[in-house]
Structures are given as C-alpha cells and as structure tokens.
Amino acid sequence: MEPNDFSEMAPDPRSIHQELVRYLGESQQALHEIDAEAIGRFTASVIRCWQQDRQLLLFGNGGSAATATHLAEDLATYAIPFSEPKRLRVLCLNDSPSILTALGNDLDFDAIFLQQVQQWARPGDLVLTMSGSGNSSNLIAAIQRAQQLGCETAAMTGFDGGELRGLVDHPLHVEVHQMQPAQDAHMVMAHMIIHAFRVAVRNVLAQRTTGSSGS
C-alpha cells in the first residue's frame, strides 16, 4: 500500500460507536450548563422588541454564524403566525457574503459586523452575538459599537466566556471547554428562545382577540 493510500483501511464500527457515545455524553453535559433563567430574560427582551417594533440584530463567526442564521430565520417566519401582519424585525448580519467580503477587503475583518451595526442599529434595538471563546475581536468591536449607540446587548459564549461575557447586558453562557459541545448548547439555547417567543406571541394574540390566553 502506498504511504498515502487509505483505501484498504477498513473503519472499525466499535471504535466509531465508542467515540460517538463519548461525544454524546459531552454534549449532554453541555446542555446541563444552560441557564434557563438567563434565556428567559433575554427572550422577554425579544418579545418587547416585537411589541415595540424595535429590531433584533444577530451575528457570529463560522459555526456560530450558522446558528445565528437559523435563529433569525425561525424568529422571522415560524415563530409568528403568517396571518399576523406584525412581524419581528430581525436581521442576521453574517448572511450577505458580498457585504462581508466588501467590508473585510476595504477595511479589515474586525469591521465586518461593526460597520453593519453602525448602519442598522438604533437606540433601544437588541443585538445578540454568538461566540465559542467569547474573545473574537470582530464580535467585541461590534458589541461595543452597539452599546455606544444605546442598544441592549447579549452574547452566547462557551469556555470561560471571554471578554464578551462581562461586556453584554445578557450573558448567555455555558461553561463548556470544547467548541462543538458549546455550539450544541448554543443551538439548543436558540431553539429555547424560538419556542418561548412563539408561545408568548400566540398568548398575546389570543388575549387580543378573545381576552383569554392561547396555548
């Protein structure tokens, strides 16, 4: 067999299974680190954004960017009945490759979210970033600009939370020192926000139309 020929190396199902079980345990432990009260306080701010026609801005790097996109999509669509004309004004800042590459090329990588926050955010808006380490300089710069503009800020973080944990109004932290389990927890946190927001919106709409709470 040639030195770089792996075609004859059969995978060992037992070792794969053992590794998957190990990882599943790490991911389940990460879920136990979620602070439901902190998620609840942040979700209440999302609900107020919807009620007061304020805006929610979200962003992250890499896998966190994918989670931000997912959260924005569900809050913009599934979370509110399509028959309801009042929508949540939610925008994910990592969804335009053209804008990201223009800002990164013309300025620098630290500007890709800061400049979009400068463009879109208004006083009272809610700005959420997501970061495994909590120390990504482009995310920190954007949150600092959001605070300068009078926005309410939040960050999902892992590891020790980094600089973002102590910087934001809503630290949504999981003390997990591995990136993928931390990101697993962040995705579950995103789904918790979507679920709680969806239920709250339907209760508000039910009270408005019938005077009773919905389910």
106 lies in a domain?
yes
**pLDDT of amino acid 12:** 87
Q: 13 lies in a domain? A: no
Amino acid 59: pLDDT? 98
Q: Please list the pLDDT of the chain residue by residue as tens digits (215 residues).
A: 456 666 667 788 899 999 999 999 999 999 999 999 999 999 999 999 999 999 999 999 999 999 999 999 999 999 999 999 999 999 999 999 999 999 999 999 999 999 999 999 999 999 999 999 999 999 999 999 999 999 999 999 999 999 999 999 999 999 999 999 999 999 999 999 999 999 999 999 999 877 655 44
- 71 within a domain of the structure (yes/no): yes
Please give the pLDDT value at position 6: 64
Sheet of 170-173: strand order equals: 89-92, 55-60, 126-131, 152-157, 170-173
Task: Give me the number of domains the chain comprises.
Answer: 1
14 in a domain, yes or no? no
Does residue 159 sit within a domain?
A: yes
* pLDDT at residue number 44: 98
Cβ(130)–Cβ(137) below 8 Å: no
How far, in Å, CA of 23 to CA of 120, rounded?
Answer: 39
Which two structure tokens, joined as six digits, stand for 189? Answer: 């946190």
What is the pLDDT, as a whole number, of residue 9? 73
Phi, psi of 150 (to 5 degrees): 90, 25
Residue 175 DSSP code:
-
Q: Is residue 119 part of a domain?
A: yes
Domain of residue 124, residue span: 37-210
Q: In this structure, what CATH number is given to the domain that contains residue 130?
A: 3.40.50.10490
What pTM was computed for the model? 0.92
